A and B are shown apart, each in its own frame.
Chain A
Amino acid sequence: MKRNTMSYKIRQYLMFAGPATLLFCGVVVIPLIYGFYLTFTSWDGISKSKPFVGLTNYITAFGDKAFWVAMGRTLIYSAIAVILVNVVAFLLAYMVTRGIKGQNFFRAGFFIPNLIGGIVLGYVWKFVFNSAFVAIGENLNIGFLKNSWLGTPSGAMACMIIVAVWQYAGYMMLIYVAGFMSVSKSLIEAAQIDGCTQSQATWKVIVPLMRSSFVQCIFLTITRCFMVYDVNLTLTEGGPFNSSVMAAMHVYRTAFTERAFGTGQAEALILFIVCAIVGVTQVYIGRKGEVAA
């Protein structure tokens, strides 16, 4: 049997990658194309007809002030959350790779919040912010805890960020742990023989060699923060007075609550493009300066 014919290659591809391709097309490619098609219609979600409206939905989306406010809010949230998640994750990873007693237990413990779904996390933290902290504040007379932080716009944003750090830091920690462990001990020893202190070895040798971990973690955090919806829904419900509505929640409301599927879909596409540009740019810049031992 000739192995370099086109039919042979197609058969081989279909045999090994055919099912995966079919599934990928079914759940990603076709819905994406269909969604793109919906952006040119004024479909209300239930009607049998989908009237073609050209670029009207994009014009509406670009003129939707609330969408851009939500987008700006998402950018601020993402910027702060990405920094904090990665700083905390890096510090945790540093701590649990120093050989402290019970470090495996700590690794598992810090990772657990990531196993809890965003919906549940939102409800749990809502109770913490609304009831637990308030009770502590009232009983110990701590002023800033007496009223729920979820009651003010800045407080709600802070709560969102705290929960994001709680949720993602453990997961990112694992990637940083892998990064720490991938750095050869001989390099660190060589650096120390050359006169490096422990911290100098960390900053001058280990961290540069972990660049790929940073690239991965920052990319993952950016994409997750940009698309946040579940925690937004259960923790703040967009409140108070819509001051914590993130871009994904705005898109959902436009499409499903206000039944403007076309506009919602157009806004979702814009959000996807913005997120992709930020994420890919970050990966490009991050990878550019990567070094290898």
Chain B
Amino acid sequence: MRKLGFAIATLAVAAMTASPVLAATDLTVFNSKSEIQTQFEEEAAVYSEEKGVNMEVAMSNDPVITHMGTRYSSNNPYVLSMVDAKDIYSLTPEHGIDLADLEAAADTDYAIEIDGKVAALPFCIEARGVMYNKTAIEEITGEDFDPASVATLDDFKALLDKLVEGGMETPVAIMKEDWSLAAHYLAQWVEEQEDPEAYVQALCAGEGDIINNEKFNSLMDTFDVLMEYNYAKDSAVNADRNKSEDMLAWGDVAFMFGGNWDWSLIVQSESDCEMGMMPVPQNTEDGSNTKLVGGGSKYFFIDSSVSEEQQQAAKDFINWFAMDAEGQDFVSNTCALVSPYKSNTLDVSDPLSVSVKAYADAGNLIPNYNFFPDDHITKAGASMQKYLGGEIDRQGLADELTEYWKGATPIEH
């Protein structure tokens, strides 16, 4: 009995005097880029083991703000969140910390600053333009395809006619999704304005004169041509995105408006065709037909209510993917994305991102306008779908957009 008592006492003393085992810091991460969720989870497991943190990556099919709102309401925010640029302006003033002291912040031109603070840092560069299937074009024309040769709408149309003559009856696919039509294609009309901010203010005041706007007409002229050669012309508002991407991958169509994120679908077709991305062809001389539209994308911010250890772990992770060789490999090779950090000089592996990187490196990106109203996609998207479906003409579209913008509220910034 004495021995047992002694043993218990010894164990108790040992337990009290032993140095405590430190629990790994919890690093919860929200990922809004669903196509890299698997890669992100796998990398998180490796990163956790190497860095001694407990990193968990979550994603949601809900709208980002809805999901984040749920987490904040339940007092369980993510330590590190990746959201779209427009969401940064709503989330970080109350929930984010200043990231100015991060090495990564000094290594990029795409950080978002709010009230003099670095509110968020980007994960990648994304851009939009017209995707093309080089192999399919060259097979029909018998000539090398240089996207710069079809910068104007006239040249582009001549090429489309040539493709039709060569047997590709409908060389274009158009995504009918409202986010593609409104947030990507139509948005370019605002983004190409000399001063997008002032133009949006004018639109809100009902003074945009959309129907006579040069940029609007230039882009809609191109859209008309895309519609004319659309493979799904008879049922344009019902075209299936997966089918369209597959047709582009295999060269059944040669062109489709989109962005480098489309690669995640195109790659599933396992086609070996050579592809790329080029600016939207327009009959213009201001150089906008030589630039893609894009910039920093998928921004990270760190929550202000979590512990300092967690904030530090999150900062370490941002510095890691931006500047560490392994982290850069994760962004450029594992995720096949264009890094927005200067120290990352790795080549990217997907052909659309190769184009994006080339335009970004040459400074040929028209910046995104990140302050479109929250209902822009659903309302302006519906108007664009009507136009695509032939329900309204250009005047009708301009009227609907004018009406929409009169009551619109751009995101506060």
Contacts and interface: CB of A to CB of B under 8 A. Distances in A.
Contacts of B240: 130-131
Contacts of A150: 238
Interface in A230-261: 238-242, 253, 256-259
Nearest to B91: A46
Contacts of B69: 45-46
A197 interface: no
B68 interface: yes
Interface in A127-142: 130-131
A159 to B, nearest CB: 11
Interface string B233-249: 01101101000000000
A47 interface: yes
A114 interface: no
A151 B91 contact: no
Residue of A46, A147, A148, A240 with highest tally of chain B CB at under 10 A: A46
B389 interface: yes
Contacts of A131: 240
Interface residues of B, number: 30
Contacts of A239: 176, 178, 237, 382, 385
Interface residues of A, number: 21
B382 A242 contact: yes
Interface stretch (B59-67, B118-126, B165-173): B59-67
Contact of A257 (B63, B68, B94): B63
Contact of A240 (B72, B375, B377, B389): B389
B65 A259 contact: yes
Which of the listed residues B62, B68, B69, B72 has the most CB atoms from chain A within 10 Å of its own CB?
B69
Given A256-B62, A259-B374, A241 B235 contact: no
Contact of B235 (A47, A151, A238): A151
Given A241-B391, A259-B374, A130 B65 contact: no
A240 B90 contact: no
Interface in B381-400: 382-383, 385-386, 389, 391
B157 interface: no
A259 B89 CA distance: 13
B65 A256 contact: yes
Interface in B46-80: 62-63, 65-66, 68-69, 72
Contacts of B406: none
Contacts of A48: 94
Contact of B382 (A45, A241, A258, A259): A241
A257 B374 contact: yes
27 contacts: A44-B65, A44-B90, A45-B65, A46-B65, A46-B69, A46-B72, A46-B94, A47-B94, A48-B94, A130-B238, A130-B240, A148-B235, A151-B237, A239-B237, A239-B382, A239-B385, A240-B237, A240-B238, A241-B385, A242-B385, A253-B378, A256-B65, A257-B374, A258-B373, A258-B375, A259-B90, A259-B374
Interface of B: 62-63, 65-66, 68-69, 72, 90-91, 94-95, 176, 178, 234-235, 237-238, 240, 373-375, 377-379, 382-383, 385-386, 389, 391
Given A241-B385, A256-B62, A259-B374, 8 more contacts: A46-B91, A130-B240, A151-B238, A242-B379, A242-B385, A253-B375, A253-B378, A257-B374
Top 9 closest pairs, chain A to chain B, by CB: A151-B238, A45-B69, A242-B382, A241-B385, A240-B237, A241-B382, A258-B375, A256-B66, A241-B386
